Amino acid sequence: MRIESIEAIAIEIPLKKNFGGSTYSVLKRCTIIARMCTDEGLVSEVYNGDNREHGAEIVRIIHDELFPLVRGVSIFEHERIWEKMFALTIANRDRKMLLEAISCMDCAVWDLTGKALGKSVCALLGGYRARLPIISIGGYYMPGKTLADIGKELESYRKAGMAGCKFKVGGLTPEEDAKRGNAARKAAGPDFILAVDANRGWTVQDAIRFARLVEPLDIRWFEEPCHWYDDAALMARVRRATRIPVNAGQCEITSHGVRRLVEAGAVDFVNFDASEGGGVTDWRRAAAICAAAGVQMAHHEEAQIAQHLLAAVPHGTYLECFADPERDPVWQRMWANRPPIRDGMFDVSKEPGFGLQLDEDMIRRYRVNY
């Protein structure tokens, strides 16, 4: 069964407000749908990424550069397909964007493989568990937002069935963000998972100061505490200075970058994103590195993909989503057959491939025609 054609579709959905963290803004929900066809009529249905502005270029790379390299190749030759595409990562181009495009292609191949064999991607990768706890990303900085508003936000996540929240910090002083963290823990209660994410917002000194302030709050992990330019070494210092586990990896684009974090002693969790870092094929390599080092696997967003990856391995942890309906209309409405959330748990799809059905009306409405 061989690759015959590809259709990549860029989706852009305007958001009603800025869902930004300490170092970035989010004004649109953007993603790429990949519909890859085989010579026997199978079609993939998968979407990748929460990309902000460059959907047109990813679509171009898929159609003009990647597809010609793999047309006619068997869908079961994952490593060969990946190697052909990764060979384009030469020094004088935007490799991050290329890896995002490779991710779309690679996930489409895995979706087709599952459909051809009648097995879910989770089953293909190991099938370790059938359910995962799920947490919402939240705690966004909004003008006029009070501590009482944070309390209401956390209560809303509980009502939505979430097991926890990954809460934004790093945009204020350590003392101010510690107050916000305290408000979140008070509202959520002691049995609610609470992680914090600074999005590379702090110096190592500020990160350590914040960590010591919130240690009594039973924080599950401290994500990306330090500035990007020396993050591995700085995170290792934070990790040695606090009892709170450290999480990073979403900004890495290869398993080689994950190895760098592990070898630096910088992480307890790795949230390498298959939609940013070359798809399922390289995520497996990153997961193997972490398994050998005793590091747990998380995943940055992308529950439609992450459900299968994290459930497949013994060291997988939590799915992430956006429980606020205004932040992610793709999660809320475009993923038409998304399993319901019950008591903080998410049942992994048993359907072949990734098992996704997408809302065609939404695709027609929000697709970007270039």
Domain spans of the chain? 3-118+358-366, 123-347
Q: How many CB atoms lie within 10 A of CB 105?
A: 26
Distance from C-alpha of 344 to C-alpha of 349, rounded to nearest angstrom:
16
247: nearest Cα among 216, 277, 226, 275: 226
Is the distance from CB of 34 to CB of 48 less than 8 angstroms? yes
Which value, in Å, is the radius of gyration of the alpha carbons in the chain?
Answer: 20
**Angle, nearest 10°, between helix axes 279-293 and 95-117?**
90
Quick: pLDDT tens for 141-198.
999 999 999 999 999 999 999 999 999 999 999 999 999 999 999 999 999 999 999 9
Q: What percent of the chain lies above the pLDDT cut of 90?
A: 94
CATH code of domain 3-118+358-366: 3.30.390.10
Q: What percent of the chain lies above the pLDDT cut of 70?
A: 99
Quick: pLDDT tens for 203-249.
999 999 999 999 999 999 999 999 999 999 999 999 999 999 999 99
The average confidence (pLDDT) of the chain is 96
Quick: pLDDT tens for 115-155.
999 999 999 999 999 999 999 999 999 999 999 999 999 99
186: nearest Cα among 140, 218, 141, 145: 218
Band (pLDDT 50/70/90 cuts) for residue 23 is confident
Is the distance from CB of 346 to CB of 132 less than 8 angstroms? yes
Distance from C-alpha of 34 to C-alpha of 37, rounded to nearest angstrom:
10
The contacts of residue 94 (CB under 8 Å, 6+ apart) are none
The contacts of residue 356 (CB under 8 Å, 6+ apart) are 45, 46, 47, 111, 304, 335, 337, 349
CATH code of domain 123-347: 3.20.20.120
The structure tokens listed for 214 are: 């919130």
Assess whether pLDDT exceeds 80 at residue 52: no
Backbone angles phi, psi at 239, to 5 degrees: -60, -40
Mean per-residue pLDDT for 338-351?
Answer: 96
Sequence-ordered strand ranges (E) for 214-354: 222-223, 246-248, 269-270, 296-297, 319-321, 341-342, 345-347
Q: How many CB atoms lie within 10 A of CB 128?
A: 13
Band (pLDDT 50/70/90 cuts) for residue 37 is very high
Q: How many CB atoms lie within 10 A of CB 291?
A: 14
- Residue 175 pLDDT: 98
Provide the residue type at 300 as one letter: H
Assess whether pLDDT exceeds 80 at residue 51: no
